[in-house]
Homo-oligomer: A and B are copies of this chain.
Amino acid sequence: MKTVTCTAPVNIAVIKYWGKRDTGLILPTNDSLSVTLSQDILHSKTTISAAKEYSHDRLWLNGKEEDITKNKRMHNCFRETRALRQQLEQDAAQRGETLEPLSSYHVHVCSENNFPTAAGLASSASGLAALVFTLAKLFDLTNNMSELSRIARQGSGSACRSLFGGFVAWEMGSKDDGSDSLAVQVAPETHWPELEALICVVSDEKKGTSSTEGMQHTVNTSPLLQHRIKEVVPVRMAEMKKAIHERDFQTFAALTMKDSNQFHAVCLDTYPPIFYLNDTSRAIMKIVHEYNATSPDGKLKAAYTYDAGPNAVIYAPKENMREIIQLIAHYFPGSADNYFVDPYKLFTSTQDLVSDFKPAGHAAFNENSIPVFPAGSVSRLLHTKTDDGPRVLGQEESLLNEQGLPKRVSA
C-alpha cells in the first residue's frame, strides 16, 4: 500500500473565467488570471492510497463516502493520471526495470476542506487541484505543473490555477483537444508578498445558480459576453500581467474591480438573469470605492472582487489591511465568536478591532455613504495573503489509517 497526502490552495480570479467553448473537456471562452491564497487559512487536503488488495475505487468527501463512479469530472482525472503512470511503467519495463504497477491498483481517496463548503468559497478548485496533485505524487509522475494543470482543468476548470502559487494565468488555448488549455505561473508568491486579501463571507438566504450551469446560460443568451470575450479580456490579460510584473497596485486594483463588475454585468445580461451580488455585497463595493476615492494621495488602496456568490475578496497591500479590516468590521459587524480569523495578529483584541473605523487622512470620507448593516450580514472575515502552491505533507497528516479507511467519518 502506498499513501500520499497533500494540500492545495484556493485561488480567486482577478480576470474572470465565465463560459466554456467545450463543456466536456472544460475549455474556456477566454483566458483568466488568479491569485493563489494561503493554505494556512483555506485549503483542500487529500490523502490517496493505492493497494493491490483494494477491490474498487472509494471516495470520502468531508467525512462522507460518495460514489466515485458517479463523479465524471473526478473520473477524468483518474483516467489521465493513470494513463501517465502506465506509460512510466511501460517505459521502465522497456529499460528492463520494474515499477510497482500502481496504475492497475484501485485507490482510496479521502478529502477534506478546512472551511465549510457552505461558506460559498470555491472549494471545487482547491479540491480537484489537491486530487490531481496527490495522484501525481502517488504515481511519481514526472510531468511539469502546467501539464498536470491540463488534467486538473478537466476536473474543474479553475482547479488548473490552484496548482501554482502566486499569480497564475489559465491560457484558454485554441486546439480542439484542449492540449494547449493550461495554467502557467505569471509570477511566484515571493514576487509580491505585500499583496494580502480579506475574505468577507456574506450571508445569503438564496442558493445561487451553480457556476457550471450559470456560465453556459450566459454563453447561450448574453449578447454582451461575446464582446467581453473578443475585445475586452485579451487587452485586460496583457495589462494585468504587466501590472503584476511591475507590482503596480493601481492598475491591478482598477482592473480587478472592473473585471469583477463586468463578469456580474454579463450575468445580469443573461436571460433569465443570474444574480450573485446582494445588497450587502454592493454595500461593500460602495465602501471600498468611498475609501479609494478619499485616499489622501488619490491612489487606490483596495480592490474588491466577487466570484459566483455574494462573498467579497478584498485585495490590498499589507500596509492598508489594518484600516480595511476596521472599516469592514464597523459597517458589517459580526454576530459570532469566530467572526474574524487573522493568523497575522493585526489586532490584539476584539476591542482593538472595532476601536476606530475612520481611515486616517481620508478627510472627505463620508461616514454615511452606507449604513451600518445588521450584525451577521457578513458572517466571517478571513485575513489571508498570496502564497504558495500545493504542498506534500508527512505521513502523520494522512486522512486514512493503516487499513486505508478514513480516520474520521462524519455521522
Chain A residues in the interface with B (C-beta under 8 A): 205, 223-224, 226-228, 231-232, 254, 257-258, 261-262, 264-266, 268-273, 275, 278-279, 282, 285, 289, 293, 371
Please give, as numbers and ranges, the residues of chain B lying within 8 Å of A228 by CB-CB distance. 223-224
Beyond A224-B228, A258-B269, 4 extra complex contacts between A and B, CB < 8 Å? A223-B228, A254-B271, A261-B271, A265-B268
Please give, as numbers and ranges, the residues of chain B lying within 8 Å of A262 by CB-CB distance. 223-224, 268-269
Verify A268–B275 contact, CB threshold 8 A. Answer: no
Please give, as numbers and ranges, the residues of chain B lying within 8 Å of A268 by CB-CB distance. 261-262, 264-265, 268
Considering the chains assembled together, what is the distance between the CA atoms of A257 and B272 in angstroms?
Answer: 9
Nearest Cβ in chain B — how far from A189, in angstroms? 28
Q: List 15 A-B contacts (CB under 8 A).
A: A223-B227, A223-B228, A224-B227, A224-B232, A224-B265, A224-B266, A261-B268, A261-B273, A262-B268, A262-B269, A265-B266, A265-B268, A268-B268, A275-B282, A278-B279
Considering the chains assembled together, what is the distance between the CA atoms of A399 and B273 in angstroms?
Answer: 45
Verify A371–B282 contact, CB threshold 8 A. Answer: no
Considering the chains assembled together, what is the distance between the CA atoms of A68 and B269 in angstroms?
Answer: 41
Considering the chains assembled together, what is the distance between the CA atoms of A262 and B205 in angstroms?
Answer: 25
Considering the chains assembled together, what is the distance between the CA atoms of A324 and B237 in angstroms?
Answer: 46
Please give, as numbers and ranges, the residues of chain B lying within 8 Å of A258 by CB-CB distance. 269, 271
> Across chains A and B, which 5 residue pairs bring their CB atoms closest together, nearest first?
A227-B227, A265-B265, A265-B269, A265-B268, A272-B289
Identify the closest chain B residue to A270 (Cβ): B261
Identify the closest chain B residue to A293 (Cβ): B272
Considering the chains assembled together, what is the distance between the CA atoms of A218 and B73 in angstroms?
Answer: 40
Considering the chains assembled together, what is the distance between the CA atoms of A289 and B254 in angstroms?
Answer: 34
Identify the closest chain B residue to A235 (Cβ): B223
Please give, as numbers and ranges, the residues of chain B lying within 8 Å of A275 by CB-CB distance. 282
Verify B257–A261 contact, CB threshold 8 A. Answer: no
Identify the closest chain B residue to A370 (Cβ): B206
Considering the chains assembled together, what is the distance between the CA atoms of A279 and B205 in angstroms?
Answer: 11
Pick from A231, A272, A285 the residue with the most CB of B within 10 Å: A272
Please give, as numbers and ranges, the residues of chain B lying within 8 Å of A265 by CB-CB distance. 224, 265-266, 268-269
Verify A257–B271 contact, CB threshold 8 A. Answer: yes
Considering the chains assembled together, what is the distance between the CA atoms of A272 and B48 in angstroms?
Answer: 47
Identify the closest chain B residue to A288 (Cβ): B272
Please give, as numbers and ranges, the residues of chain B lying within 8 Å of A285 by CB-CB distance. 273
Please give, as numbers and ranges, the residues of chain B lying within 8 Å of A269 by CB-CB distance. 224, 258, 261-262, 265
Considering the chains assembled together, what is the distance between the CA atoms of A223 and B223 in angstroms?
Answer: 13
Identify the closest chain B residue to A266 (Cβ): B265
Considering the chains assembled together, what is the distance between the CA atoms of A285 and B274 in angstroms?
Answer: 10
Nearest Cβ in chain B — how far from A182, in angstroms? 27
Please give, as numbers and ranges, the residues of chain B lying within 8 Å of A293 by CB-CB distance. 272
Pick from A205, A254, A268, A371 the residue with the most CB of B within 10 Å: A268
Please give, as numbers and ranges, the residues of chain B lying within 8 Å of A227 by CB-CB distance. 223-224, 226-227, 231
Considering the chains assembled together, what is the distance between the CA atoms of A269 and B285 in angstroms?
Answer: 13
Identify the closest chain B residue to A264 (Cβ): B268
Nearest Cβ in chain B — how far from A188, in angstroms? 30
Identify the closest chain B residue to A224 (Cβ): B224
Please give, as numbers and ranges, the residues of chain B lying within 8 Å of A270 by CB-CB distance. 261
Considering the chains assembled together, what is the distance between the CA atoms of A333 and B257 in angstroms?
Answer: 36
Considering the chains assembled together, what is the distance between the CA atoms of A262 and B275 in angstroms?
Answer: 13
Considering the chains assembled together, what is the distance between the CA atoms of A268 and B286 in angstroms?
Answer: 12
Considering the chains assembled together, what is the distance between the CA atoms of A103 and B117 in angstroms?
Answer: 73
Please give, as numbers and ranges, the residues of chain B lying within 8 Å of A257 by CB-CB distance. 271-272
Considering the chains assembled together, what is the distance between the CA atoms of A264 and B271 in angstroms?
Answer: 13
Considering the chains assembled together, what is the distance between the CA atoms of A261 and B271 in angstroms?
Answer: 8
